[in-house]
Amino acid sequence: MAQGSRSAAVPAAASFFALLAVAAPLLLCCAPAAAELARLEHPPKDGGSLSLLVVGDWGRKGTFNQSRVAHQMGRVGEQLSIDFVISTGDNFYENGLTGTDDEAFEQSFTDIYTAKSLQKPWYLVLGNHDYRGDALAQLSPVLRKIDSRFICIKSFVVNAEIVEFFFVDTTPFQLKYWTHPKDDHYDWRGVAPRENYINNLLKDLDGAMKTSTAAWKVAVGHHTMRSVSDHGDTKELLQLLLPVLQANGVDFYINGHDHCLEHISSRDSPIQYFTSGGGSKAWRGVQNPTEDDLKFFYDGQGFMSLQLDRSQAKFTFYDVDGKALYSYTRSSLMETGHHLQASGYVNEE
Ligand SMILES: *[C@@H]1O[C@H](CO)[C@@H](O)[C@H](O)[C@H]1NC(C)=O
């Protein structure tokens, strides 16, 4: 359960959501720079497995194939019996939410992801477009009264026993938003000054990762670390965040920001990088080779699934028709990656 002494007062039979509703306001009111990372508990299924979907860069009121992706997420989510959904940010275009009363919340989220299998917690980070609106609105418990699935905290940890997810607020890292905002306004309330915020965040992440005993450690952020698409690598994350992930044996980094699906294996680290940013507008038409090992790239819309147990982690990318395009499995014994044939949709597991 989330930290906070009031949680203990909730009867044992209360649902996870009831706990969260009580504890979250406590977490969110704390000074962001000094507080420890919020921690949420999400136990795996009996037998110790976990499955989830990852989607990013989506909130466009159903347009640009957002609704088609949502429909297929519902179908695959049912098949895999998912436990939750992760959003890699840019939840609402073009400029986040105007406030907690912005109807874009329902139009781009509640009314779009309607499938039964998607009525699970959504753990979300903010993207740069979210920071261009009222960034605090997305963190507000008021939204959870409208749709209880929406669990957005700037940086936090979800502990699923076999795996810990470290959600990182990556937008403040990117210097150009501070120095060259052009006509965009960024909502830095609770963030500025940048250097303090980043130093504290990295210290908190390092502390949380060091105490983790999970079989898998997964970091999630909005911005790319490694990408062959439009935005490319994010220099600030490679300089500041990557050393913390490397020092703590993080296995995977999952991001959005580039509106595509990609898997990259870099030359300087065993960390595998997955971009799932195909939630709506895609087809950017950019693919720049880098020195890293590009395992898979798809420029169109889609999403990703992740199925985990203690010994194995399996990633699969799907397109707008729900067709599985590529799978990658990592275990302590072996690694495999393969493209699936057009006709070869396999019902995994
Ligand atoms: C929607 O998806 C189809 C199939 O990939 C694609 O041909 C079409 O261009 C997409 N529409 C938009 C607006 O991206």
pLDDT (0 to 100) of residue 267? 86
pLDDT (0 to 100) of residue 8? 36
Cα-to-centroid distance, 64 and ligand 1 (Å): 7
What's the CATH number where 264 sits? 3.60.21.10
Which of 320, 321, 323, 325 should be mutated for ligand 1, with most atoms under 8 A from CB?
320
Give strand pairing partners of 312: 331
- Location of structure tokens 């979250």: 24
The closest alpha carbon to 271, from 212, 220, 321, belongs to 220
Residue nearest to atom 7 of ligand 1 (CA): 300
Residue 315 lies in a domain: no
Cα-to-centroid distance, 284 and ligand 1 (Å): 12
Residue 12 lies in a domain: no
Residue nearest to atom 13 of ligand 1 (CA): 64
Domain ranges, residue 107:
34-310
- Token digits of residue 276: 């799932």
Residue 344 lies in a domain: no
Residue 94 lies in a domain: yes
The closest alpha carbon to 89, from 36, 133, 26, belongs to 133
Give strand pairing partners of 274: 254, 263
Cα-to-centroid distance, 322 and ligand 1 (Å): 13
Cα-to-centroid distance, 140 and ligand 1 (Å): 34
Instruction: Locate the ligand 1 atom nearest the alpha carbon of residue 319 and give its number.
Output: 5
In terms of Cβ atoms closer than 10 Å to its own Cβ (0-12, 13-18, 19+), residue 70 is buried
Residue nearest to atom 10 of ligand 1 (CA): 65
Q: 128: annotated binding-site residue?
A: yes
Q: What is the chain's pLDDT, residue by residue, as a tens digit (349 residues)?
A: 333 333 333 344 444 444 454 444 444 444 444 458 999 999 999 999 999 999 999 999 999 999 999 999 999 999 999 999 999 999 999 999 999 999 999 999 999 999 999 999 999 999 999 999 999 999 999 999 999 999 999 999 999 999 999 999 999 999 999 999 999 999 999 999 999 999 999 999 999 999 999 999 999 999 999 999 999 999 999 999 999 999 999 999 999 999 999 999 998 899 999 999 999 999 999 999 999 999 999 999 999 999 999 999 999 999 999 999 999 999 965 456 666 644 333 433 3
Q: Is the dihedral of CA 86, 89, 94, 96 positive or negative?
A: positive
Q: Is the dihedral of CA 187, 69, 165, 160 positive or negative?
A: positive
Distance, in Å, from the CA atom of 245 to the CA atom of 264, rounded to the nearest integer, reads: 16
Residue ranges of E strands in 5-140: 38-41, 50-55, 84-87, 122-124
Residue 19 lies in a domain: no
pLDDT (0 to 100) of residue 339? 65
pLDDT (0 to 100) of residue 268? 86
- Token digits of residue 59: 């909130």
**8 Å CB contact between 2 and 19:** yes
SS3 category, 335: strand
- Token digits of residue 247: 């020092």
Residue 1 lies in a domain: no
**8 Å CB contact between 341 and 317:** no
**8 Å CB contact between 129 and 187:** no
Among residues 71, 223, 231, 263, the one annotated as catalytic is 231
SS3 category, 221: strand
Residue nearest to atom 4 of ligand 1 (CA): 320
Cα-to-centroid distance, 81 and ligand 1 (Å): 27
Radius of gyration of the chain (CA): 19
Q: Is the dihedral of CA 241, 242, 247, 248 positive or negative?
A: positive
Residue 124 lies in a domain: yes
Q: 93: annotated binding-site residue?
A: yes
The closest alpha carbon to 91, from 122, 119, 67, 56, belongs to 56
Residue 340 lies in a domain: no
Query: Has 42 been annotated as catalytic?
Result: no
Provide the number of structural domains found in the chain: 1
Distance, in Å, from the CA atom of 335 to the CA atom of 102, rounded to the nearest integer, reads: 45
Which of 57, 60, 63, 65 should be mutated for ligand 1, with most atoms under 8 A from CB?
65
Residue nearest to atom 12 of ligand 1 (CA): 64
pLDDT (0 to 100) of residue 50? 98
